């Protein structure tokens, strides 16, 4: 992530810092901002944990989906549930595919 979005991209901007959307495009060297929301950072962290758990050595699309499912509260999980899919069945299918 840091290779694409810069050093500290996943770091919490901290309390008291002013966070604005698309702030990473501005050149303000003193203000350290993350281009990710707290939920997105959590999903990325969970995706990494899923990759490590499955001994994959990389974070693939399936790991990102597992991170979304594990986070459990975002739009992705709602879309899956709204389409009548069982979240646990989707998890098992993705894990089997990543095998």
For residue 94, what are the contacts with CB-CB under 8 A and spacing of at least 6?
A: 62, 65, 66, 69
Q: Predicted confidence band at 3 (pLDDT cuts at 50, 70, 90)?
A: low
pLDDT of residue 57: 82
Domain ranges within the chain, ordered by starting residue: 1-35, 37-99
pLDDT of residue 16: 47
pLDDT of residue 31: 56
Q: Measuring CA to CA, which residue among 19, 15, 12 is closest to residue 42?
A: 12
Q: What angle do CA 51, 52, 58 make, to 5 degrees?
A: 50
Q: CATH fold of 37-99, please?
A: Double Clp-N motif (1.10.1780)
- The string of pLDDT tens digits covering residues 45-92 is 999 998 888 888 888 899 988 999 988 888 888 898 899 999 889 899
Instruction: Indicate if the pLDDT at residue 2 is higher than 50.
Output: yes
Average pLDDT over residues 11-27: 53
């Amino acid at each position: 992530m840091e290779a694409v979005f810069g050093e500290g991209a996943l770091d919490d901007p901290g309390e008291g810092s002013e966070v604005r959307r698309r702030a990473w495009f501005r050149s303000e060297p003193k203000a350290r901002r993350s281009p990710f929301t707290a939920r997105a950072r959590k999903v990325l962290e969970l995706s990494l944990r899923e990759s490590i758990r499955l001994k994959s050595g990389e974070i693939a699309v399936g790991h990102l989906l597992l991170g979304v499912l594990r986070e459990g509260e975002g739009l992705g999980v709602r879309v899956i549930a709204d389409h009548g899919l069982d979240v646990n069945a989707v998890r098992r299918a993705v894990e089997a595919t990543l095998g």
